[in-house]
Amino acid sequence: MFRRLLDWLEDRTGVEGAVKHFLYEDIPHSSGWHQVFGSVALFAFLVQASTGILLALNYAPTPGEAYDSLRYILTQVTAGRLMRALHHWGASLMIIVVVVHMIQTFVWGTYKKPREATWIAGVALLLLTLAYGLSGYLLPWDNRAYWGTVVTTEISALAPGAGPLLVRLLGSDGTSIGAVTFTRFYVAHVQLLPPLTVLLIAVHVYLVRRHGVTPTPEDEDQPRKKFYPEQVAKDTVAIFGWFAVLMGMSILARVPLGHVADPTDLSYVPRPEWYFLFLFQFLKWFEGPLEVVGAVIFPALAVIGLVLVPFLDRGKMRLVRQRTGAIGLVLLAAIFWGGLTARAVATTPETREMDMSLVKPWQEISAGDMASIGLFRRAQCGSCHELGKSGVGPDLTAAPSSRPASWLEEHMKSNLKAPGLLTDAQVQTLVTFLTKRGDKAVEAWRNAPQGAVEGALIYQARACASCHRLNGAGNDLGPPLNGVVERRDRAWIEGHFANPPKYSSGSIMPSSQFKPDQLKLITDYIMAIPK
Amino acid sequence: MESMENGKKYIVATSKATPESFLTQSRRSFYAALVSALGSAIGGALALPSVAYLFGGHKFNPKSNFVEAAKLTQLELGKPQEVTFERTRVDAWRTFHEKVIAWVVRTGEKNVVAYAPQCTHFGCAYHWEATRNQFVCPCHESRFSIDGKVLGGPASRPLDRYSVRVENGKLLIGSEIRKA
């Protein structure tokens, strides 16, 4: 039955014959493990395409909303965090495999006549891969994305002659970027680059088939092999290995989301993605008017050099172990790239930016609301008012209370489990909370960790809000506490509590002596509040 | 196996083949099995999260979010009234204020029913016709009684209802819609 279906399909379309033709291609006897990288690169592209399409299904491609929708993917959508990690790490691992593929062809010298066009198509594919990296970098629309892309557009402005045109093409005014640049990067990433890539891959693979896999001089007297099954099996093993690394990284290594892009945040120090770090470091060598050499002329010459490789090296095919010049060049390039990258990593200050995809509602509500949740728990109001259910008393999370404040006050005082469990001021705090709380506070009410709630109770008891602002509530006599974790470390904050003037001269903050456990609670709490 | 034969012929005919350069049958099957096994593993590991992502839905705050829609004193017993109120709605990554309309019938001292304003046929906005004592949809003439039952027309189920609560003389309407 199945056979008949296949025969019918073969007769009408020839698809089975085409597949067989593809699989039973003759390849040289010497083919083997060193030739698996092209297949892996193709597979990497397919992974990027499919995860990219899936991400796009939950992504709003406008500045601002892009950030919110990515945060939604990371915190709300099933498997969303994994999908984003696959796309993020997949990009890096794709760059690696594409470069390894290129190094292999270079070292073996397989670009030589008649395969020059195959090599040039490959160089174009490498540039496309890098273009995905550059355009995709902006799409999360966090500070990293924004400031990184500002640098990209400013570098393109340096291009001799074409600079102003390039800047206009990228939708920038030369100093800042906005909605137009964002949209152009998005369109490039999802509408222009993919069809170009598919086209070039088709050309590249067609040319490989047209000229056949390159034989070595030793292949002359050897019988040829079939692509399937031996080489296909080797390719599959390599793809499996590449994919296993990708899955492992995606599960184990969290990809953070920074603060939403802020063009006024001048404290942000942008860094490019790791594979461009060497260029970033390289630029430091060129000062003033020479900058254009490092930023534009050198990269352009490097690309032109790559394209010209098959025309510069036109000797006869030689065995790979005799190609010492090529191997030496690769080693030199590796040292150049590795040294610059290592230097860039070493001089990059450690980022203290919070991962905003991990921020929970309790970290975004006022300390007063958090303290109220603490009072609600401490007074065991939940034994009658179970959250999310109507029990002995009504469910208080369904809607803000519509009772008059006087009624609520009276109700609380007459139903306390023990007299004096809440002071009058604390009753007032709780009444305000019950009538005014927002949706985020309800979420926090259900699941804020008790330690953070205790920290907020200390914050409230010490009246920190009479000088400091935190999540919109409090005064501005002292510095705002949002994002303090990005400015100070734990030792500084804890030491500062005991002796403020020692840490910031002229401080009028009174010193606070805490017991060790209390000091930890209050410090943990304020360090959890995002910028 | 045919192609295998072809392959052999080709190789024998065109080059100085040595016997050991041919794959033995068992190695061939081993390679083929390896390709299928690893291929399926990769496919499965990609498909599983993709299916979860597409069909797994998103975490949803199940809070029913009641807001005040009217005072009880404004509602006449047994007379449907169109009530407009505002509420905050979370739509995936967006949060916004919106106006909501409900057809509200006070059915007792502390009992109120609130119907969602769309016809259960194709979602047109219906209205109350006092003279005929029924809700009428202008699109396809579906008609409903004051208690939401279908009286005629193409609608197949009664009017949908909002969850409601009556507290301290106020009508609160929730975001949840119950289908009859």
3-state secondary structure of A267: coil
Which pLDDT belongs to residue A84?
Answer: 98
pLDDT tens-place string over residues B98-117? 899 999 999 998 899 999 99
Which residues of chain B neighbour A26 with C-beta distances below 8 Å? 10
Q: Are the CB atoms for A354 and A484 separated by under 8 Å?
A: no
> Which chain A residue lies closest to B61 (C-alpha atoms)?
A443
Q: How far, in whole angstroms, is CA A353 from its chain's centroid?
A: 13
Q: What value of ipTM does the predicted structure carry?
A: 0.89
Return the number of other C-beta atoms located less than 10 Å from residue A248's C-beta: 11
The superfamily (CATH) of domain A24-351 is Cytochrome Bc1 Complex; Chain C (1.20.810.10)
DSSP A87-136: HHHHHHHHHHHHHHHHHHHHHHTTTSTT-HHHHHHHHHHHHHHHHHHHHH
Q: In the CATH scheme, what architecture does the domain A359-527 have?
A: Orthogonal Bundle (1.10)
Which of A384, A436, A42, A28 is CA-nearest to residue A243?
Answer: A42
Q: Chain B: residue nearest A224 by CA?
A: B11
- Say what the pLDDT of residue B178 is: 85
Strand partners, B173: B67, B164
Indicate whether B25 and B93 sit together in one domain: no
Backbone angles phi, psi at B11, to 5 degrees: -65, -45
Instruction: Give the residue on B whose Cα is nearest the Cα of A77.
Output: B58
Q: Do A58 and B92 touch (CB under 8 A)?
A: yes
Closest in B45, B57, B65 to A78, CB measured:
B57
Asked if the structure places residue B60 within a domain, the reply is no
What is the residue-wise DSSP string for A345-381? HHHSPPP----GGG--GGGSS-HHHHHHHHHHHHTTG
Contact call for A230 and B31, based on CB within 8 A? yes
CA distance B113 to chain A (A): 18
Is the C-alpha dihedral spanning B76, B80, B84, B85 positive or negative? positive
Closest residue in B to A30 (Cα) is B21
For residue A339, the tally of other CB atoms under 10 A from its CB is 12
Question: Are B71 and B150 found together in one domain?
Answer: yes
In B, which residues are within 8 Å of A18 by CB distance?
A: none
List helix spans (H) across A484-515. Answer: 484-487, 490-498, 500-503
Chain B residues with CB under 8 Å of A442 CB are 63
A310 with A115: CB under 8 angstroms? yes
User: To which residue do tokens 């999802």 refer?
Assistant: A190
Whether residues B82 and B167 share a domain: the answer is yes
Tokens encoding A121: 């198509």
Distances in whole angstroms, Cα of residue A283 to Cα of each of A150, A276, A287, A294, B171: 16, 11, 8, 5, 67
CB-nearest to A233 from B34, B50, B90 is B34
Quick one: which H or E segment has residue A319? none
Nearest by CB to residue A402, choosing from B28, B35, B170, is B170
Q: Give the whole-angstrom CA distance, residue B174 versus residue A439.
A: 14
Whether B96 and B144 map to the same domain: the answer is: yes
* Parallel, antiparallel or unpaired: strands B67-71 and B143-144: unpaired
Under an 8 A CB cutoff, do B42 and A222 touch?
Answer: no
B166 and B79 inside one domain:
yes
Is B159 part of a structural domain of the chain? yes
Output b/e per residue, A179-211; b: 16+ Cβ within 10 A: eebbebbbebbbeebbeebeebbebbeebbeee
Q: Do B16 and A225 touch (CB under 8 A)?
A: no
Residue intervals in chain A for CATH 1.20.810.10: 24-351
Q: The domain that contains B94 carries what CATH number?
A: 2.102.10.10
Does B171 fall in a domain?
yes
Residue B97 located in a structural domain: yes
Q: In what order do the strands lie in the sheet with B67-71?
A: B67-71, B170-178, B161-167, B112-115, B94-106, B81-91
Q: What is the DSSP code (8-state) at residue A303?
A: H
What is the chain A residue with the closest CA to B47?
A: A50
**What tokens does A431 get?**
């009444």
Residues B79 and B35 in one domain: no
Contacts of A24 in chain B (CB under 8 A): 3, 6-7
The reply to whether residue B93 touches residue A71, judged by beta carbons under 8 angstroms, is: yes
Within-domain flag for B39: yes
pLDDT of amino acid B179: 85
* CB of B65 closer than 8 Å to CB of B173: no
Q: Hunting for tokens 């014959």 — which residue is that?
A: A17
Q: CATH 1.10.760.10 residue ranges in chain A?
A: 359-527
Place of tokens 């950030």: A67
Determine the pLDDT at residue B13.
37
- Residue A29, min C-alpha distance to chain B (Å): 8
Out of A80, A222, A443, closest to residue B53 by CB: A80
CA-CA-CA-CA dihedral for A327, A333, A338, A340, to nearest 10: 160
Residue appearing with tokens 């939401």 = B148
- Yes or no: say if A330 and A337 are a contact pair by the CB < 8 Å rule: no
A17 close to A10: Cβ distance less than 8 angstroms? yes
Q: Does B23 share its domain with B96? A: no
pLDDT at A388: 83
Cβ contact, residue pair A57, B18, below 8 Å: no
Q: Tell me the shortest Cα–Cα distance from B34 to chain A, in angstroms.
A: 6
Answer yes or no: is B150 within a domain: yes
Q: Note the pTM of the prediction, 2 decimals.
A: 0.89
Is there a single domain that holds both residue B90 and residue B172? yes
Write down the pLDDT at residue B4.
Answer: 46
Residue B19, phi then psi, degrees to nearest 5: -55, -40
Query: What gap in Å lies between CA A1 and CA A485, rounded to an integer?
Result: 68
Name chain A contacts of B17, Cβ cutoff 8 Å: 223
Provide, as residue numbers in chain B, all residues whose Cβ is less than 8 Å from the Cβ of A65: 93-94
Return the number of CB contacts < 8 Å for A and B.
124
Are residues B147 and B85 part of one domain?
Answer: yes
Partners of A470 in the β-ladder: A473
Give the per-residue pLDDT at B15.
44
Contact A71, A257 (CB under 8 A): yes
Q: Which of B16, B59, B172 sits opposite A399 (nearest CB)?
A: B172
Question: Model confidence at B64, in pLDDT bands (50, 70, 90)?
Answer: low
The one-letter amino acid code at A442 reads V
Q: Is residue B62 part of a domain?
A: no
The whole-angstrom distance between B88's CA and the closest CA on chain A is 9
The verdict on a CB contact (< 8 Å) between A239 and B18 is: no
**Listed residue (A519, A479, A526, A524) closest to A503, CA to CA:** A479
Q: Does residue B123 belong to any structural domain of this protein?
A: yes
CB contact under 8 A, B10 and A26: yes
By residue range, what is the domain housing residue B138?
A: 67-178
Could you tell me the two tokens for B5?
């034969």
Which residue of B53, B66, B71, B167 to mutate against A (max A Cβ within 10 Å)?
A: B53
Of A8-12, A35-39, B63-67, B86-90, the one with minimum mean pLDDT is B63-67
Residues in chain A closer than 8 A to B86 (CB atoms): none
Instruction: State the residue for tokens 């709300």.
Output: A76
Enumerate the H helices of A352-489 as residue ranges.
367-378, 405-415, 424-436, 439-447, 450-461, 484-487
Number of domains chain B contains: 2
Q: Is the pLDDT of residue B60 over 80?
A: no
Select from B55, B84, B99 the last residue of a domain. B55
CB-based contact B58 A77, cutoff 8 Å: yes
What is the DSSP-derived secondary structure letter of residue B150? E
- pLDDT tens for B1-36 read 334 444 444 443 344 444 444 678 899 999 999 999
CA distances to A89, A367, B44 from A526, in Å: 33, 9, 44
- Whole-angstrom distance, CA of residue A152 vs CA of residue A131: 11
Question: Are A448 and A373 spatial neighbours (Cβ–Cβ below 8 Å)?
Answer: yes
For A191, the 3-state DSSP assignment is helix
pLDDT 10s digit of each residue in chain A, 531 long?
A: 899 999 999 999 999 999 999 999 999 999 999 999 999 999 999 999 999 999 999 999 999 899 999 999 999 999 999 999 999 999 999 999 999 999 999 999 999 999 999 999 999 999 999 999 999 999 999 999 999 999 989 889 989 889 999 999 999 877 779 999 999 999 999 999 999 999 999 999 999 999 999 999 888 888 899 999 999 999 999 999 999 999 999 999 999 999 999 988 888 888 899 999 999 999 999 988 899 999 999 999 999 999 999 999 998 888 899 999 999 999 999 999 999 999 999 998 887 889 999 999 999 999 999 999 999 999 999 999 999 888 888 889 888 888 889 999 999 999 888 888 899 999 999 999 999 898 889 999 999 999 999 999 999 999 999 999 999 999 999 999 999 999 999 999 999 999 999 999 889 999 999 999 999 999 999 999 998
Is A443 in Cβ contact with B170 (below 8 Å)?
no
Put simply, the answer to whether A20 touches B18 (Cβ < 8 Å) is no
Which is nearest to A208 in space by CA: A33, A18, A35? A35
Half-sphere CA count of A136, side-chain side, radius 13 A? 22
Distance from CA of A444 to the nearest CA of B (A): 12
List the beta bridge partners of residue B94.
B91
Nearest to A145, CA basis, from A240, A256, A296: A256
Query: Residue A229: is the preceding peptide bond cis (ω within 30°)?
Result: yes
Q: Say yes or no: B40 and B120 in one domain.
A: no
How far does the CA of residue A378 sit from the closest CA of chain B (Å)?
24
Contact: A229, B31; criterion CB under 8 Å = yes
| Closest by Cα among A461, A460, A399, A458 to A434 | A399
